[in-house]
Amino acid sequence: MDPIRNPFSPGAGTPPPELAGRDELRESLRVTLERAKIGRPAKSAMLVGLRGVGKTVLLDRIRMDAEAAGIHTVRIEAPEERSLPALLAPQLRQALLRLSQVEAAKDYAVRGLRALAGFAGKLKVTFGDIEVGIDYEPEPGLADNGDLEHDLQALFEQVGLAAKSADTALALFIDELQYVEEPQLAALITAMHRTEQRQLPVVLVGAGLPQLRGRMGNAKSYAERLFDFPVIGPLPPEAARLAIQKPLQDEGVDITPEALTKILQVTQGYAYFIQQWGSHTWQAAATSPIGIESVNTASVTAIAALDESFFRVRFDRLTPKEKKYLRAMAERGAGPHRSGDIAGCYGADVSSLAPTRSSLIAKGMVWSPNHGDTAFTVPMFDDFMKRIMPGNDWR
Ligand SMILES: Nc1ncnc2c1ncn2[C@@H]1O[C@H](COP(=O)(O)OP(=O)(O)OP(=O)(O)O)[C@@H](O)[C@H]1O
Ligand SMILES: [Mg+2]
């Protein structure tokens, strides 16, 4: 079929042709954000799920919905090794500058910009990576304590007051939140707690790997009550069907029920894989309706492409010890696995492997669904590990 018209979009954060199966969550967050806008209590949410399930595109869509409803938004992605205050400061500045254009909010927004000046000035000592334009002189005593937890609270309070006086809400969208270090996460939670207590219209919509929930609970035990943690999982069969069928239909192309069922089977409903199989099936097919033989051809090329991209980028960031650990996990299947079983796979003892396990958690490769259990954060990574480290030499 014409490659130019291929509707599918495998990628990181690439919007799909059809955002299937997420209407309920979108609607519930729309209600949350609109509530915040009219000054009602609104619970922030953390979207948690494995790699490639569609957290980023959902976060972006919710943000578009919010903007369309007149809510001010900022969007941040927390990469490894950048401080949260460094990421927040320029974005909050933009938001405050925009709010300062609203006559009713001007005074509060300017005070917010003063708070930001104090915040950035003092915290630069601790977080050398803060780079932000300063529009107003700091106000002595306002967000300039030099302690992140205290100063972020004061800053959020000013931002909240500015948003409130502008009759709007500020929604913070933060992706890859699991990479934020715990003390900084604690400060973020405290700041959100403060705006909640003061009934200020600030909402946080975060996204991250499943370990985010535990990390937030460790950072502040009340985090579990302060936020909702909707799980973003594989698409249920009906939604997965729609994700394939709708874009094809829009191109005037049909697919046989057997071919569609086969795609559902091999992708297990994982959003990234659905796009990948959709795209490769399109490439393999010559005519409509698309039959099962096209899906079978696609399975070969799609897996090869995944091995070179989705899986490979993650594999290449691993040390030899980490690779070995993941290979041992793969030996035992999809998981989750007990630490003892993994160690037993190559005759190591559990305590000597603890640092490797920790570094894999920090890199976001594995997580712990229960104490002592370890699971992959990338769906179907077990099969990939067996393909890339075949046989028994790895032991
Ligand atoms: N609801 C959906 N329906 C169809 N396709 C989707 C859906 N959600 C996401 N996708 C597709 O899945 C792929 C992965 O999406 P996205 O990058 O948002 O995942 P993610 O959970 O953020 O992954 P990661 O943890 O690696 O950042 C993209 O190609 C996207 O177009
Ligand atoms: Mg993402």
The full DSSP string for 256-312 is -HHHHHHHHHHHTT-HHHHHHHHHHHHHH--SSSB-HHHHHHHHHHHHHHHHHTHHH
> pLDDT, tens digit, for every residue of 254-289?
999 999 999 999 999 999 999 999 999 999 999 999
State which of 18, 53, 60, 381 you would mutate to test the pocket of ligand 1, scoring each by most atoms of that ligand within 8 A of its C-beta.
Answer: 53
- Find out whether 48 and 207 touch, Cβ atoms under 8 Å: yes
**The pLDDT of residue 299 is above 90:** yes
> pLDDT, tens digit, for every residue of 172-187?
999 999 999 999 999 9
Average pLDDT score over residue span 295-322: 96
Q: Which ligand is nearest to the CA of 48?
A: 1
- Ligand 1 centre to CA of 262 (Å) is 20
- Find out whether 85 and 148 touch, Cβ atoms under 8 Å: yes
**The pLDDT of residue 369 is above 90:** yes
Helices (H) and strands (E) in the chain, counts: 17, 8
- Ligand 2 centre to CA of 159 (Å) is 27
Which residue in the block uniquely carries the two structure tokens 């000597």?
Answer: 352
Protein residue with least CA distance to atom 2, ligand 1: 19
- Find out whether 204 and 188 touch, Cβ atoms under 8 Å: yes
How sure is the predictor about 79, in pLDDT bands with cuts at 50, 70 and 90? confident
Average pLDDT score over residue span 334-361: 93
**The pLDDT of residue 50 is above 90:** yes
% of residues, the chain, pLDDT over 90: 95
% of residues, the chain, pLDDT over 70: 100
How sure is the predictor about 193, in pLDDT bands with cuts at 50, 70 and 90? very high
Tally Cβ neighbours within 10 Å of residue 371: 6
Residue 80 confidence (pLDDT): 82
Protein residue with least CA distance to atom 29, ligand 1: 10
**The pLDDT of residue 347 is above 90:** no
In terms of pLDDT, which residue wins out, 80 or 277?
A: 277
**The pLDDT of residue 91 is above 90:** yes
Residue 106 confidence (pLDDT): 97
- Ligand 1 centre to CA of 210 (Å) is 15
Q: Hey, which bits of the chain come out as E strands?
A: 44-48, 72-77, 170-175, 202-208, 227-228, 337-338, 366-367, 373-376
What distance in Å separates the CA atoms of residue 264 and residue 159, rounded to the nearest whole number? 46
Average pLDDT score over residue span 318-329: 96
Helix 257-267 × helix 271-284 angle, to 10°: 140
**The pLDDT of residue 316 is above 90:** yes
What number does the ligand 1 atom closest to the CA of 377 have? 25
Residue 54 Cβ contacting ligand 1 at under 6 Å? yes
Protein residue with least CA distance to atom 24, ligand 1: 51
Protein residue with least CA distance to atom 25, ligand 1: 51
Q: Which ligand is nearest to the CA of 277?
A: 1
51 to 3, 12, 269, 294: CA distances (angstroms)? 27, 10, 13, 27
> pLDDT, tens digit, for every residue of 27-36?
999 999 999 9
- Ligand 2 centre to CA of 141 (Å) is 38
**The pLDDT of residue 61 is above 90:** yes
What number does the ligand 1 atom closest to the CA of 50 have? 25
> pLDDT, tens digit, for every residue of 125-179?
999 999 999 999 999 999 999 999 999 999 999 999 999 999 999 999 999 999 9
Residue 69 confidence (pLDDT): 96
Q: Which ligand is nearest to the CA of 25?
A: 1
Average pLDDT score over residue span 37-42: 94
- Ligand 1 centre to CA of 304 (Å) is 19
Mean pLDDT for all residues in the chain: 96
**The pLDDT of residue 117 is above 90:** yes
How sure is the predictor about 395, in pLDDT bands with cuts at 50, 70 and 90? confident
- Ligand 1 centre to CA of 174 (Å) is 16
- Ligand 2 centre to CA of 176 (Å) is 7
